[in-house]
Homo-oligomer: A and B are copies of this chain.
Amino acid sequence: MAAYTATALKAELNEKGWRLTPQRETILTVFQNLPKGTHLSAEDLYERLQQEDSPISLSTIYRTVKLMTQMGILRELELAEGHKHYELNQPHPHHHHHLICIKCSRTIEFKNDSALKIGAKVAQKEGYHLLDCQLSIHAICPQCQRSLIP
């Protein structure tokens, strides 16, 4: 299941002088066990851990998701107004993009290899080290097109 083990996480952290803590391991595990298509906000993650009786403070959650995003382990998604969502940053065959309704936030995931290739090419050309590549389509879903509510 785990594409990325605690051992690998530890190695990568240590390489930069950071440490593997139970909190970091727990958070990684939560994301690895999430059903496909699920993404969590910091608050979601906080509540989920409380319910699972492995509470982690909100500060630590914010610090950890930021760290993991910068390591390329998580990706930060802008799916709805007001807060960010996170999901595992998966490699090629699982990598995907999002079509998002700006009215109701209904989101559809889709895969597209060329978008990913374009991203890799542009990053390489400019000498940037690629972390994540997202094709985000902002649109209005069929239901909201019909709705009269602004």
Contact = CB atoms under 8 A, between A and B. Distances in A.
Interface of A: 16, 69-70, 75-76, 78, 99, 101-103, 108, 110, 112, 114-115, 118-119, 122-123, 126-142, 145, 150
12 contacts: A70-B103, A99-B123, A99-B128, A108-B122, A108-B126, A119-B135, A123-B139, A126-B141, A127-B142, A129-B139, A133-B138, A134-B134
- Kindly report how many copies of this chain are found in the complex they form together: 2
Contacts of A129: 139-140, 145
A114 B118 CA distance: 9
B135 A133 contact: yes
Nearest to A17: B150
Given A122-B137, A134-B134, 15 more contacts: A70-B102, A78-B78, A99-B123, A99-B128, A110-B122, A114-B114, A115-B118, A123-B137, A123-B139, A126-B142, A129-B140, A129-B145, A132-B137, A133-B136, A134-B136
A131 B142 CA distance: 13
A85 to B, nearest CB: 12
Instruction: Among A110, A128, A134, find the residue whose CB has the most chain B CB atoms closer than 10 A.
Output: A128
Given A102-B69, A112-B118, A123-B99, A139 B135 contact: no
